[in-house]
């Protein structure tokens, strides 16, 4: 049994849409079979107005005790630190967020915006947005670096733009069934079970990455070839299980011919670092990708790439489609 309050800051509601599409378990399963009691959620609660306020204030006063606080979206501090760009029930949303985070046993940041600020916090960050415990890859989010929830854990970050429904529900189930302490987190406070491998793991194009065979033009993504060399795919440097835990249980961006944009990493959407490079690979000397797979030595990689391209077998160069 676990009570949940879910609030919405500066964001598009994509994580709620993703959550409502959960299949294993479904949102209904969470309630009927796993004892998750959603006290308040901005999109699915029956309560609004004064009745919603009573629910929220009740949770802050321990009536009933709050187990899980989920934030979707950024914490908005603007203008001038007042938070008045984002008002909720007569108060700046940032004040509700602060109080809920300090009342809950566990705090979950859901989606890039809540984890690191995401698109709203990208420079010039006009709403003065923050993630709950991070701002991009720095630990200077709204709650501060030393924040610990009542159960003694830092914010559990479930990034993604949006997060996959299974990443969300499985974390809620772990907490509701008393297994929260088993959720090992990485250095960015993401559950390791989802974020220790790369998007490239399980990608059906991986053999073309090995032989350095590119998809040459955007829009030819269903043709064979790797999307890294010409389309800016960030699969080799992005921690996500998108090709292990498939979307809609049947596909992924790269399977559909869409380059990975690296949405589970704190620097997403990378505009500050590499303006104008979505769907475009940054090149060194006009040929080799500048943004190499994590852990590779640039010189060795350059030699390997040259040899692999020269040695690529006939099948790797044939014009075919991949799924």
Residues that bind ligand SF4 (CB under 6 A): 160, 199-200, 203, 205-206, 209, 226-228, 233, 235-236, 238, 240, 242, 252-254, 260-264
Do residues 111 and 72 touch, judged by C-beta distance below 8 A? Answer: yes
Q: Minimum CB separation from ligand SF4 for residue 245, in Å?
A: 10
Structure tokens at 271: 């505009």
CA distances from 204 to 164, 216, 250, 307, 323 (A): 19, 17, 12, 22, 7
93-120 as b/e, with b when 16 or more CB fall inside 10 Å?
A: bbebbbbbbebbbbbbbbbbbbbbbbbb
Annotated binding-site residues for [3Fe-4S] cluster read 242, 260, 263
Annotated binding-site residues for [4Fe-4S] cluster read 12, 113, 161, 203, 226, 233
Pick the closest to residue 81 from 120, 130, 117 (CA basis).
130
Ranges of beta strands (E only) in 15-104 are: 36-41, 68-72, 75-76, 87-88, 91-92
Looking at the Cβ atoms of 176 and 261, the one nearer to ligand SF4 is 261
Do residues 258 and 234 touch, judged by C-beta distance below 8 A? Answer: no
Looking at the Cβ atoms of 86 and 112, the one nearer to ligand SF4 is 112
Looking at the Cβ atoms of 83 and 262, the one nearer to ligand SF4 is 262
Q: Minimum CB separation from ligand SF4 for residue 203, in Å?
A: 3
Looking at the Cβ atoms of 109 and 263, the one nearer to ligand SF4 is 263
- Give the CB-nearest residue to ligand SF4: 235
Looking at the Cβ atoms of 105 and 238, the one nearer to ligand SF4 is 238
Q: Minimum CB separation from ligand SF4 for residue 215, in Å?
A: 8
What residues have CB less than 8 Å from 144, skipping those under 6 apart? 133
Annotated binding-site residues read 12, 113, 161, 203, 226, 233, 242, 260, 263
Q: Minimum CB separation from ligand SF4 for residue 320, in Å?
A: 15
């Amino acid at each position: 049994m676990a009570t949940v309050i879910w609030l919405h800051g500066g964001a598009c509601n994509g994580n709620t849409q993703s959550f409502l599409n959960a299949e294993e378990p479904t949102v209904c399963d969470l309630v009927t079979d796993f004892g998750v009691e959603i006290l308040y959620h901005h999109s699915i609660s029956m309560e609004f107005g004064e009745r919603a306020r009573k629910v929220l204030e009740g949770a802050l006063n321990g009536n009933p005790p709050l187990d899980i606080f989920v934030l979707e979206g950024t914490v908005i501090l603007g203008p001038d630190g007042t938070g008045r760009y984002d008002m909720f029930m007569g108060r700046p949303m940032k004040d509700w967020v602060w109080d809920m985070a300090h009342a809950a046993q566990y705090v979950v940041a859901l989606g890039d915006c809540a984890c690191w600020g995401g698109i709203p916090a990208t420079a010039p960050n006009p709403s003065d947005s923050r993630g709950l415990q991070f701002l991009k890859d720095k630990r200077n989010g709204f709650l501060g670096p030393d924040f610990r929830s009542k159960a003694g854990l830092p914010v559990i970050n479930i990034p993604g733009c949006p997060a996959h429904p299974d990443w969300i529900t499985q974390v809620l189930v772990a907490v509701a069934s008393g297994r929260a302490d088993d959720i090992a987190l990485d250095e960015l406070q993401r559950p390791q079970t989802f974020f220790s491998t790369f998007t490239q793991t399980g990608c059906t194009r991986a053999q073309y990455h090995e032989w350095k065979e590119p998809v040459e033009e955007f829009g030819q993504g269903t043709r064979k070839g790797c999307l890294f060399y010409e389309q800016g795919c960030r699969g080799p440097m992005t921690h996500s299980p998108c090709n292990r835990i498939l979307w809609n249980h049947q596909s992924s961006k790269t399977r559909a011919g869409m380059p990975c944009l690296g949405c589970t990493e704190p620097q997403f959407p990378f505009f500050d670092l590499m303006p104008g490079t979505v769907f475009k690979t940054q090149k060194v000397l006009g040929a080799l990708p500048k943004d190499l797979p994590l852990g590779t030595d640039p010189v060795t990689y350059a030699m390997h790439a040259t040899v692999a391209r020269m040695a690529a077998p006939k099948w790797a160069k044939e014009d075919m489609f991949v799924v």
